[in-house]
Amino acid sequence: MSKFSTTPITKEQLEQINVENDELFTKIGMTRNERFFCAGRPVVIFKDITSDSDEIDLDIFTGRIAIKNGGILSTGINPFPCGPARLTIVKWGDDEDQCGYIDCSSTLNGGPAIISLKRVTIGKNVLFGPDVTITDSDEPIDEKLSPEEMAEKIAPVTIEDHAWLGLGATVLKGVTIGHHAVVSANAVVYRDVPPYATAFGNPAWIVPGNPSGEK
Amino acid sequence: MSSFESIAPTAEQRKTDRDNVLALMEKIGAVVSDDFQCNGMPLISLNDTTQTGDFDFASMAGCIVLGGRLNSVDVSPFPSGLVRMTVIRWGEGDDKCGKIVVGKGTDLDGTSIVSYIGVTIGDNVYVGPRTVIMDSDGHPGDRTLPDIPENKKKAPIVIGDNVKIGFGSMIMKGVTIGENAVIAPKSVVMWDVPAGAYFGGNPAKKVRAPK
């Protein structure tokens, strides 16, 4: 059990925030189950570069963020600095697969920033340290490019079950983080990390690992 | 004088901050020297896994020993934030509790320190904003093991006198930084740094100091 020097948020305040968050999540069509929870207010950004309109058509983005298990946590009381979770979906072409999709089966802890133009898949029991960044495209995307030219700069990211993304980790486009792998704090990963391995540094180098215990 | 002056904490606010922090330190049994100063209220968390019910501060008395200055202000040229100190007791005895010691004349700007076993910072050290100093990995590196304190690797951190640590850095478990060493901004220090050296990068290695 712990004691904090500043007053944690009260139960009433948390309930109020949950109600406001729930209205937001329903409005934007975010998929979630009955066990979903959220502490702190995430930032959700939808961007449609195929349209000149100032208005966002929320129907396009319905279901594009799917939290299949777990919740979103980004509170201010934390041993480390961390901000709100930032979830960004970008539509860059007319096809179904020319729009981002976040498919998450773990709790998004510590205010991660996830930017998806195609697909970011997060498996079960993935451990998030604070301030993680995941992107499935080269940033920034030049909006003057055609969808065909853009496609080269975009590649799905997969974080497999039981992986651990350490404080400040950055996972770049096209990367698969294998199951039970560890991305060390502040590492910048630009290529696959095999299961059970550890990635350190910027740019990240890989140390292979072996499962222990019964595996 | 710049327009910045008008939003910096006033002398009155600094005194109130200091009084509030001293009251907090007394309550948690921290040891505070006469020259200790602070700007803004730091975030102190004590975590004792051996206790249930109302928190008994006696079990963690003396786990924070402070000299120097804790600067928890966002009114600074670079993104900064609170000074955060988190100490964990994970078993009975002195060797199963964190401890944070900060020396005389040391400046901690918006720094986060998490201790399971021991973080000792010497005199006249400067630590830049958004640096994280943690004497444990925080979770087992072997993801098949249970996530309990016994399985988390821990080793004490020692930072020598007059060291300068650039903003946004990370100091990992078991590291000793020799006196007078300088760490470049945004470095991730995984291994010992010799006295007087200039280290930088991720992972931090000996590099040529900039002009």
**Interior CA angle at A133 toward B208 and A11, to 5°?**
125
Q: Is residue B207 part of a domain?
A: no
Pairing of strands B107-109, B69-71: parallel
Residue of B100, B117, B89 lying closest to B62 (CA atoms): B100
pLDDT digits (tens, 9 = 90+) for B174-187: 999 999 999 999 99
Average pLDDT over residues B84-103: 94
A11-75+82-207: CATH topology is UDP N-Acetylglucosamine Acyltransferase; domain 1 (2.160.10)
pLDDT digits (tens, 9 = 90+) for B139-173: 988 888 888 888 999 999 999 999 999 999 999 99
The residue with tokens 């079950």 is A161
Q: Is residue B208 part of a domain?
A: no
Domain count, chain B: 1
Q: Can B16 be counted among the known catalytic residues?
A: no
Distance (Å) of CA A182 to CA A130, A171, B115, B199:
14, 12, 21, 25
Q: Is residue B78 part of a domain?
A: yes
We report the CATH number of the domain holding residue B29 as: 2.160.10.10
Q: Is residue B47 part of a domain?
A: yes
Contacts of B168 (CB under 8 A, 6+ apart): B128, B129, B130, B131, B185, B186
The ipTM is 0.88
Prediction pTM value: 0.90
> Which of B47, B57, B170 is nearest residue A2 as measured by Cβ atoms?
B47
Q: Is residue B201 part of a domain?
A: no
Q: So what's the pLDDT on residue A9?
A: 61
Any CB–CB contact under 8 A between B65 and chain A? no
Q: What own/partner pairs with CB < 8 Å and gap ≥ 24 does A12-17 have?
A: A14/A39, A17/A41
Measured between CA atoms, the residue of chain B closest to residue A187 is: B202
Any CB–CB contact under 8 A between A200 and chain B? yes
**Which range marks the domain in which residue B31 is found?**
3-196
Min Cα–Cα distance to chain A from B186, Å = 9
> Which of B51, B132, B145 is nearest residue A80 as measured by Cβ atoms?
B132
The answer, yes or no, to whether residue B73 has pLDDT greater than 80, is no
Chain A residues in contact with B190 (beta carbon < 8 A): 200
Measured distance CA(B90)–CA(B146) in Å, rounded: 15
